[in-house]
Amino acid sequence: MQKNDIINLTISGYSSEGFGVARHEGQVVFVRNAIDGEEIAAKILKVNKNAAFAVTDSVTAPSPERVTPDCPHYPKCGGCGLRHISYAEQLRFKAQRVTQTLERIGGVAAEVEIVPSPQINGYRNKAMFEVRSGAIGFFRSGSHDVIAVGQCRLQSDTANRVLEIASEYIQKHADCPIRNIFVRTDENRAQIAVITYKRDRHTAEALTQKITEAVPGVEFSIFFGSQDGRNNVPLSAPLKHLSGLRELPVELCGFRYNTAPKAFFQVNKAQTEQMLQYITQTVSALPEYGRILDLYCGCGAITLPLSRLAESVTGAEIVPEAIAVAKQAAADAGVSNAEFLCADAGEAAEQLAVAERFDVVVTDPPRKGLLPEATAAIIKLAPKRIVYVSCDPAALARDVRLFAEAGYEFVSARAFDMFPGTVHVETVALLSLTGKTGISE
């Protein structure tokens, strides 16, 4: 095979990125925009020593699960990866991905069920729009080129209206210094942070004034920050409140969270409620759950529902803004058995291990999973159960294996489709301390 060759393939499965997988002359070929079971003609994009990468050129025998993408920006925009696949097949792929990854990397056998999302479009309550060279939208898949997007099928109506107005403004101002526009929405409220390359408060105020005037009936929370091009984390910039609400109130499982732009909050609210109900049901079915530690607790979205069950709950999170939200939510709800620590998860667990005992540790780390020091600290705490919430099956499976080596047995897992249309999937796994080290091969 060489670049630009057109070859005939039969797709026999999916990669973790949602690409179709096929074999040609003994070599694995990963094919974008292909579906399990299809016969296709594929155009070779790159050939490596161990694998080739291709894109579907034409479909000879289409799968019954193939659908016409409902977004004109797909597949150029990197925000989605599965819009050519029926929702039922997306769910099958994701459940299979978690099951196979746990077996291949984690060394455990589990037939994982997946919970569908209540919404498959318009479910996101957060967007980070990229602005480059007069275009606003999202990065092209695999690059930092911005694809101009008029509307995003995943975003709320309010976020799409903000996108439309911002696009008009940016096109009229060729020298516009805007780098990113962050939007978080909930019902009739919206939080916006305008990030510029240089400190240009005037531009931020001019744009957000147009937005607030053009979107009636929405209560806004407006922020501004600046960030140079060397840092690719827009919200790491200090943010200044310009107008409107200082926090965006979000209701979740009976608690009210006054969120700040930098505070992590799950993007799919309806599905998050289903996942939180599952976590509380899982914990309530355990023999002991009096004392619970929630590492990477964010705004306390898991911690506070668990406070209804436990004797005491402790949440740890390194982001000060998130801890402030969690403490206020607990106070507003009259929760007296919850404590929140602003600290790195590993450091918090290490400090608590000196004098504290926990029946259950809940951990919801970033996509890369637990850092080695956090894993070691949890093992030192020796909780009877670990509830591990993960947005990356490979990181989860790796950590399941590490905990198995320390005497934790994999009990169960359930997947939640938190991100329809994309390859991402959320998983909740339960581990139990048995004292028997190692895994079954």
Tokens of 408: 């934790």
Query: For residue 34, how many other CB atoms are within 10 A of its CB?
Result: 29
Q: Which of 71, 176, 299, 391 is catalytic?
A: 391
**Pairing relation of β-strands 426-433 and 360-363?**
unpaired
- Tell me the three state secondary structure of residue 187: coil
Buried b (16+ CB within 10 A) or exposed e, 47-65: beeeebbbbbeebeeebeb
Contacts of 26 (CB under 8 A, 6+ apart): none
Count the helices and strands in the chain (H runs, E runs). 9, 22
391 a catalytic residue: yes
CA distance 255 to 268: 16
* C-alpha pair distances (Å), 114 with each of 24, 236, 276, 362, 426: 32, 34, 14, 20, 9
345, 275 Cβ separation under 8 angstroms: no
Tokens of 122: 């318009």
Which residues on neighbouring strands pair with residue 249, listed in sequence order? 258
CA atoms within 13 A on the CB side of 25: 7
Using alpha carbons, select from 336, 430, 346 the residue that is nearest to residue 388.
430
304, 330 Cβ separation under 8 angstroms: yes
429, 400 Cβ separation under 8 angstroms: yes
- Tell me the three state secondary structure of residue 382: coil
148, 135 Cβ separation under 8 angstroms: yes
**Single-letter residue type at 70:** D
395, 368 Cβ separation under 8 angstroms: yes
Buried b (16+ CB within 10 A) or exposed e, 310-320: beebbbbbebe
CA distance 78 to 71: 12
Contacts of 412 (CB under 8 A, 6+ apart): 110, 282, 429, 430
Query: For residue 39, how many other CB atoms are within 10 A of its CB?
Result: 15
**Single-letter residue type at 133:** S
Which residues are known to be catalytic?
391
